[in-house]
Structures are given as C-alpha cells and as structure tokens.
A = this chain, B = another copy of it.
Amino acid sequence: MRKVAVLGIGQTPVGEHWDKSLKGLAGEAVFSALADCGLERVDGIFVGNMLSGSLNRQENLGVMIADWSGLWQAEAVKVETACSSGGSALRAGFIAVASGEMDTALVVGVEKMTDTKPNETTAALATAADADYEAAQGLSFVAINALVMQRYMHEYRWNHADFAPFSITAHANAVHNPYARLPFSITEEEYRHARMVAEPINLLDASPIGDGAAAIVLVPADRLTSGNNPGRRVITIVGSATATDTIAVHDRRDPLWLSAAAASAQRAYQQAGIGPQDVDFFELHDAFSIMSALSLEACGFAERGRGPRLGLNGEITINGRIPIATRGGLKARGHPVGATGVYQVVEVVQQLRGEAGPTQLERARIGMAQSVGGSGATIVTHILQAT
C-alpha cells in the first residue's frame, strides 16, 4: 500500500441552498478542490451521499457529478453508509489510491436536505436505523439518541446541563468558520432553556440538517512536489479504518458503548503508530451532544461514563487538551449527512495547513476525524498527519 496525501480541499457553506441543485452544489465543492491544487482531471470519483434517491430523486450520483463537473470518463461511484457516507467515500478513495489502482481520486460528500418537507426529511433519515425493528415502531433518529442519553444520565448520574460545554464549544468555534450553518455563540442559559425535541435532547443538543458539499483530492504522497503543493506541509492519511456494530441499539449488550468507534479508532491508532495521547484535535461526530461524550470515551480520551467531564474541565476548547469541533462540528457547522464525513476531514486539513483562522490550533500536527452512520452502527475513523 502506498502512502496517500491530501492535495486539495474544497467546500460550500452549509445552509438552505434552495437556489442550487444537488449536482450544482457538488460541482462547487469539486471545482474549489480542483482549483486548490491545480488539477483538471482525476482517475476516480467517490461520492459520499445518503439521501439523493429518496429526497432528490437522483441515483447514479457518481456519474452525475462526474458529468456535471466535466470529469468525463472517470470511474465514479456513490458510497452509502448513512450519516458516515462521507467518511466511507474517503476510505474507498484512500484504498483506491493506496493500492495503486488509481493515481488521483476525488472524494465528494454532498447532501441536499432542505428542499423537502421536514417530515419527509425526518422519515428519510430514519432509513439509517433498522427499518423493521426501529423505524417501523416510529423511532425517529432523535428519539433513538434520546433513549441513549436518558440511560447514560441515569447510569452515570449526569444532569442535562453537564452536556452544555459540547454545544457551547461547537458554536463558539463556528463563529469563525465562513462555511458554518449556525455561526453564532450560545450561552449556558440558552442551552438549558432551549426548546425540547425529545427528552432529554433539546434543540441545542441537536445538530441542524442542511445542504452542503465538500471535496478532497487524494494522490500518492510521492507525487507531491513543490510545484503542486507549493509552500504547504505534506498531509498524509496515516490511519483509515471502519468497523460496525449491530444496526439497532436495542441489540447491543451495552447501549452506552460505541464498540465500532473503539474498534475503528484502535485500528487507526495502530496503523499510525500512535495512541490517543498523540492526537492534537478530534473532529468527532457530534450529531447530538450525547454522541460527543460516547465518542470521546470509546476513542480513549475519557474514561467510561466520564465524557462530559472533559467539557466541564475546559479540555475540549481550542486551548484545551483535546479540542473538538474546531470549525463548529456537526452542531454548528451543520450536518448535511452524507457530506459531513468529508467536511470533517477538510477541516482537519485546514488545521494541519494552518488555515483555520481565529480557531487555528497552536499545535496541529496530528488530527483525527470520526464519522458515524446510524446510532453507532457504522463508524469510520481517519487520522491525518502533517510533516
């Protein structure tokens, strides 16, 4: 397997882009990523997307985006693993380049969720859960997470307010991200009094859906030159792994342990030859605040049941021990589901390049991104390193 480097990145703001088509949105991110590295052709296109068939009536999305972007003849596929589709598309592109099967891969995450009625979008999102044993019982996605959070608070004796730092930190960082969906800060007071969605999850525990696209160009690391990567650090993918758990939360021995996060992070750490103590920042999948706590625990940053403590101790902010959601996270950058995994890695690259503006970390040499499909069912972990 060859070492794989990130040559270019691109993204669109996350928002309600009613004036743009699905392919137009994807095209913006593609053109921006190609312009970022001066490439005009690629060998393969890997599209991360969950809902184009049900919400946009468009499948065959790989070739659709290849065609729209003028990347004719390139190999093209769509990869779907619910909300981790972007992470899975990146992993497919990574394997294709690492193997030598391709010399250039374009990874595109795109989702368009706001053209449909909210109840249609909510129903479509529920297709990430078990259709027969979860969705058919009326369990929406937020409801599943509410059950998990309720249990977590009971088991480990946390109050709802203890989760506030996750959302406050994400919003604070989003203020400085021009691509963020909710670029405003929130107070603990606002967090505590936000409108209830599904007890105990309130509006400020939950990430907003949105329309958006992000793109990444991958090449073999030995193709980087001062010509095509001028004045930039070399950023390589040093860890890439996916693991799965049961699709339904009720089938797990322990509904409060993300075993697929633990397994995929462990494998990625091994590949990178590092441990959690070496990770400078972590773009985690904070679809709901409870997910931040569970991910931090499963990946070795907090002891079991102690995730919220990291927030309360100020360890997750830009100046903390393990900064998370440095560009706003799912909570405030927004969560265009199939695109999110690609946004996360674009943001890791921004940090590693030193292009993160006011939220630039002082030390950003190793960054980790983790993408979750379903309630912890499919989990994809990537570790990137700058040299």
Contacts and interface: CB of A to CB of B under 8 A. Distances in A.
Interface in A84-128: 88, 92, 95-96, 98-101, 123-124, 126-128
Interface residues of A, number: 65
A18 interface: no
Contacts of A378: 60, 62-63, 76-77
A248 to B, nearest CB: 8
Label chain A's interface by main secondary structure: mixed
Contact of A98 (B73, B99, B124, B127): B99
Contact of A81 (B54, B62, B244): B62
27 contacts: A1-B99, A51-B59, A53-B124, A57-B126, A57-B131, A58-B130, A59-B82, A60-B82, A60-B127, A62-B378, A63-B373, A63-B374, A63-B378, A64-B247, A67-B246, A67-B251, A72-B245, A73-B245, A76-B242, A77-B80, A77-B88, A77-B92, A78-B79, A79-B80, A79-B92, A92-B92, A95-B95
Given A53-B124, A53-B127, A67-B246, 19 more contacts: A1-B100, A52-B127, A57-B127, A59-B82, A60-B80, A60-B81, A60-B373, A62-B80, A62-B81, A63-B81, A63-B378, A67-B244, A67-B377, A73-B263, A75-B242, A77-B88, A77-B378, A80-B80, A98-B99
